[in-house]
Every structure is written in structure tokens, then in C-alpha cells.
Structure 1
Amino acid sequence: MGLNKELKQSIKTARITGLWYLMMAISGILGFLVFHSEIFVSGNPEQTLTNLVELKSTARIRLLLEFAIVISQALTAVWFFKLFKDNYEWEAWTLGIWGMVNALAIMISAISIASAIGVANSDISALEDKVLLIQVFQHIISNAWGIGGLFFGLWLFPMGYIVIKSKRMPVWLGRIIVLGGIGYLISTVIRYAGIDFSFNRFLTLPATIGEFWMIGYLLIFGIRPINE
């Protein structure tokens, strides 16, 4: 009876973890892949400035979605720690801490978005000054996400390791997650080394597959018994 109760609690924790992870995925897709390009035009700070003024409500939605990513990433990291700490304490700490670093990287982006909105709608009279500041904030946003790829990859290593070692989830799920972590690291290094590699964006594809598989497994099945 005690074991059954413990398993039920673990499954409940796993499903809550999955919910936070799902929220992070949804807010990330909406914020970074959908709304971001509506406001921030790469290489065109003048148009970005115009968008920040004329589409102020959309810009604030983009900012709030960044808040949602930060919060859900932090909570996902905490709940993963809670899920695995009893049997894999060191790995769970690593997973939780590196997940928090992800949240901090995205928070830098959120601060820059908020600053860009503030500057664009401020009383600064010189248009050139506004454009220059917007350009700086665009670079910070881009690089917060870009260099953040190091820890977007790193936090997948302990996650995948625990899955493989514990066998409380499909072993191939863990392997794909680890492969995704490697892909993130290589992709980030290639990008910032200035290497022209046209297939670079595909290196993070295993991470995307693994993370959505993880979300689905957590929500549908939770986690297996320890000895299964």
C-alpha cells in the first residue's frame, strides 16, 4: 500500500511537471516563433521602432509571453528536481540548476523587450538615438536566446541520463534527449564561431522531438514504478 501511494504521488508530480513543461512549450512557440517577428524585424531597427509604437499592445503581449516562458521554465526545473531528487539527487540538482539558468537567460531577453518598449514610447526626441538603442536591445534579445542555447542543451543531459539510468521512462526517450542536448551545444558553437553551416538549425531537431515526447509521456503516463 505504501509503495502504491508513493507511485501515485510520483505520477502526480510527473504530470504537474508535464503541465509546466507544456506551458513553457506553448508560450515559447507563441512568443518567440509567432509574435516576435511581428514586432522585432531582424536587421531593421527602424521598422522595429515603428512596430513598437504602432503595435504597442502586440509588443506587450510578446513581453507577457516572455514572462510566461521564464515562469514556466523555472517551475519545470523545480518540479523535475522534485520528481527525481529521491533517487538521483545529484543529477536532479544539476537538472534543476541548469534549468534555472535557462530561465535567467530568457529573463535577460524579457528585460530587453521591456526596455525596448519603454524607449520606443519615451520622450527621447532624437530619432537616431531611439533607433540605436532599439538596435542594441534587439542584439541583446537575439544573443540571450542564442547563447542561452548552451544551457538549453546542458539541462537536457541530466534529464536524459536519469531517464536512461532509471528506466522509469522509455530508454530511447532519454537517448534522444541527450542527443538533443549535444545538438544544441554544437549548434550554438557553430553559430558563434561564424561557421557557415546551412543545416545548423536541424541540429536542435532531436531536442524538439525529445522534449515534446517527454511532455506527452509525463502528461499521459507520468512515470513508471522504480523496479519496472
Structure 2
Amino acid sequence: MDTIKRNARTAALLYLLLVLVAPIRLVYVPSQLFVSGDMATTAANIMAHPGLFRLGILTDLFCATLEVFLTLALFRLFKDVDRRSAVLMAVLGLMPVPLYFVNVFNDVAVAHLLLGASPAGFTAEQVMSLVRLAMTLHDAGINMLQIFWGAWLFPLAALAAKSRLVPRFAAGWLFVNGVAYLALSVTGLVAPSWNGTVSLAAVPAQLGEVVFVVCLLWCGIRGHRATSAPAAGAVA
């Protein structure tokens, strides 16, 4: 049980760190700098607060790296519960990492265009068009990433329920969280006008990861009565 507690604590702390840091670029930076439908004001805000925008870039890079270690930590925790599901969870968890890094280049391009030296041979209107394109591509990248952010939660929820390391309601909520990510992705890609409505409706579902992290951290600190559950479900 000491090994299970240690692995649960490690995975929970990594997940908690991701939950705390990821909203900086996904939520906080856009809320402070971006103005929907007004690229001129958005660009002016970025140029007025370059440090905040660059912080968003750094947090994206940090989260992409952290996702690798988190996925491996969760695989180590659940691999004896159901190895096939654990492998599927790990594959789905690692697949978006390269896309995450590539998507950061769109923000780097915005920083270069607005915060660096003015590109030679480009008019102000052309620079603004390039900024708009880069930011649009970044948003599209997030929509694609949400497919994986949702899909990997399905095997993770199944593993959590089977292991009995967290309450079943937490595993179920995690599954609903995965559905919410997929709904946000589909809406963002094919029906952007519904983005606001779906995002608002998805807020309660997206607390599933928070609940899972809290329960997993509690397991890592205090242990769990079902100490033999993972071994009982092990796959040879």
C-alpha cells in the first residue's frame, strides 16, 4: 500500500499543478488581453502588457512538458489495475503533447510580430492580418487538443472506478468531464457561434478533474481501505 500511496500522491500533485497552471494561458491571459472581434484593441493590449503575454507562452510550454510526466505517473499508478486500459490512457495522454508544442509557435509568431522588430516589407495592415491568422490558428489548435484532453479521461475514469482508489462519483464525474471537452471541441470547430453557450454549460462538468485530483491526493496522503483492489484486477 505504501507504493500505491506514493504513486497516487505523485500523480495527484502533478495533476494539481497542471490544473492550477493551465488556466493562465487558457483563461487568464485571454480575459486580460483579448477583445473578441476587435483585433486592434487586442494587439494594443498585448503590446502594453508584453510580460503577461509571454507568461502565457511559458505556461503553455510548461504544461506540455508536465503532461508527459503526469501521464507516466498515472500509468505507473494504474498499470496493475488493467494494463490495456492503462496503455490506452497513456497513448491518448501523450499524443497531444507534440501538438501542444507546435501550437505555441502561433503565440511566438504573435510575440515576434507585435513585440519584436517590425517585419521588413510588411505594412501595418499586413502585420495585423498575420497576427489575426496566428491567433485564429492557436484557437483552432486548442479545439483540436480538447479532443485528446477529453478522450484520455475515458480510460482514466474507467481505471479510477475499477481501482477503487477514488469514490465512484469522482470517476463518473471525470467521465462527464471528458464528454464536456469533446463537446467544446466539436462546437469550436464546427459551430463557433455556440462556443459561449457550450462553454458556460460545461463549467460544472469541467470540475471533474478537480474532484478527481482532490480524491486522489487524499488517497495519497491517507491511504484507502481497498488496498488490494489493483492487484485483484491485474492483467497478466
Query: Deviation of residue 22 (structure 1)?
Result: 1.0
Preserved CA contact (<8 Å) 1:149 1:188: yes
1:24 corresponds in structure 2 to 18
The one-letter code of the counterpart of 1:142 is: D
Query: Deviation of residue 132 (structure 1)?
Result: 0.9
1:93 to 83, 87, 90: 87
Structure 1 residues 181-217: Cα deviation after superposition (integer angstroms, max 9, x where no partner)? 1232233223433286564124533542210011111
1:4 corresponds in structure 2 to none
Preserved CA contact (<8 Å) 1:36 1:62: no
Mean alpha-carbon deviation: is it higher for 142-151 or for 39-48? 39-48
Residues 1:40 and 2:37 are matched in the alignment: no
Identity %, equivalent residues: 19
Residues 1:127 and 2:121 are matched in the alignment: no
Residues 1:136 and 2:130 are matched in the alignment: no
2:165 corresponds in structure 1 to 168
SS at match of 2:81: coil
* TM-score, normalised with respect to structure 1: 0.86
1:227 to 204, 221, 229: 229
Q: Which has the higher contact order (CA 8 A, sep 6+)?
A: 2
**Which blocks of at least 5 consecutive residues in structure 1 are unaligned?**
1-6
How large is the Cα RMSD of the aligned pairs?
A: 2.2
**Which blocks of at least 5 consecutive residues in structure 2 are unaligned?**
231-236
Mean alpha-carbon deviation: is it higher for 206-215 or for 19-28? 206-215
Query: Deviation of residue 30 (structure 1)?
Result: 2.3
SS at match of 1:41: coil
Task: Name the CA distance, whole Å, in 1 between partners of 2:36 and 2:175.
Answer: 31
Preserved CA contact (<8 Å) 2:140 2:188: no
Query: Deviation of residue 21 (structure 1)?
Result: 0.7
Task: Name the CA distance, whole Å, in 2 between partners of 1:202 and 1:42.
Answer: 16
1:64 to 58, 65, 68: 58
Mean alpha-carbon deviation: is it higher for 31-40 or for 186-195? 186-195
Preserved CA contact (<8 Å) 1:73 1:102: no
2:198 to 197, 200, 204: 200
The one-letter code of the counterpart of 2:214 is: G
Residues 1:214 and 2:216 are matched in the alignment: no
1:103 corresponds in structure 2 to 97
Preserved CA contact (<8 Å) 2:106 2:137: yes
SS at match of 1:122: coil
Residues 1:147 and 2:149 are matched in the alignment: no
Task: Name the CA distance, whole Å, in 1 between partners of 2:66 and 2:170.
Answer: 22
